[in-house]
Amino acid sequence: MIAISPRQLEVFVAIALSGSVRAAAERLHLTQPAASMALSELERLLGEPLFDRRLRRLHLNAHGRRLLPLAQEILERMQEFGRGSGGAVLRGELRLGASNTVGNYLVGDLLGGFVAAHPQVAVKLHVDNTAAIVAGVLDYSLDLGCVEGSAAHPDLELLPWRDDRLCVCAPPSHPLAQRRRLRPEHFAGARWILREAGSATREQTERALAMLPPGETVLELDQSEAIKQAVIAGLGLALLPAVAVADAAAGGRLAVLRTPFLQLQRPLSLVLHRRRYRSSLLQALLERIAATAARGRRRDYA
């Protein structure tokens, strides 16, 4: 029987997630030599390396990638064992990722109830575009992601959360904002402000623009808020999440154009790795999100 210690597994997981011994040592409150020794001993016991060493960074090799989810599961099961029976207070850390729309405008709907119910759980939220969040779930650096748009990969499981809607936005003084009834041909030559590549909003914008006459891309920005301000400043049109522009539209700083000829509805989904162990913390979060979404649907239909 191989005598692998929990500390060695903790060091392995921390290095895998951070990419360096120094960062892992700081995270675990160890000296760097102690962390390095723990990794070396673990690799000796396993009989082969877990990382490739390149440019002072450690990158998981194929063997390390296979063992990482198992090491995470062992550590999480040990934490659950230490908490005892099901009545114990939930403690621990959850690493979550959210695409920009969710992270900037809907994080309260996503996490508010869970954070209030479980104050002993540390939630670390990383906000980025959909492609980056999917990559984080795939490499196990994120326990759960919430994204808009597609996330097709055989290792991913998608759970529906709620619907979201984009809208075409213009400065109030724009000629299209003055028209009572818009048609696709009115958008010929329009100047557009787009999200960056890798964003689900960009992907859906490109599909919508394919249904309109050719226009011109004048800006690419990586945040919906920056695009909103650019539209308000009169720099062009944009497709933005309705939740992101509600305040500006209500205040008359931005016009939302009526475009029934465009399909702008999209689903928001939770994304999990199929091989990721669903700890009691993760399961509790999923159940809370599902319950909150169900209550929201009942209100919508009431």
Q: Which pLDDT tens digit goes with each residue over 36-66? A: 999 999 999 999 999 998 877 899 999 999 9
Instruction: Please give the pLDDT value at position 302.
Output: 47
Which alpha helices (H) appear in the chain, and where do they start and end?
6-18, 21-28, 32-46, 62-83, 100-105, 107-117, 130-138, 175-178, 200-209, 224-232, 242-250, 280-301
Instruction: Please give the pLDDT value at position 198.
Output: 84
Structural domains of the chain, ranges and CATH numbers in brackets:
6-69 (1.10.10.10), 92-162+267-300 (3.40.190.10), 164-265 (3.40.190.290)
Q: Which two tokens stand for residue 85?
A: 């029976």
- Under 8 Å between Cβ of 245 and 172: no
* CB-based burial, 249-279: b 16+ in 10 Å, e otherwise: beeeebbbbebeebebebebbbbbbeebbeb
Considering only CA atoms, which of 258, 230, 259, 234 is closest in space to residue 244? 230
Tell me the pLDDT tens digit for each residue of 136-161.
Answer: 999 999 999 999 877 789 999 999 99
- What integer best gives the mean pLDDT of the chain? 91
Q: What is the dihedral of CA 168, 105, 193, 234, to 10 degrees?
A: 80
Instruction: Measure the CA–CA gap between 104 and 129, rounded to whole angstroms.
Output: 11
State the average pLDDT over residues 186-195.
96
State the average pLDDT over residues 84-113.
85
- Under 8 Å between Cβ of 42 and 66: no
Tokens 């062009």, residue located: 236
Map residue 140 onto helix, strand or coil: coil
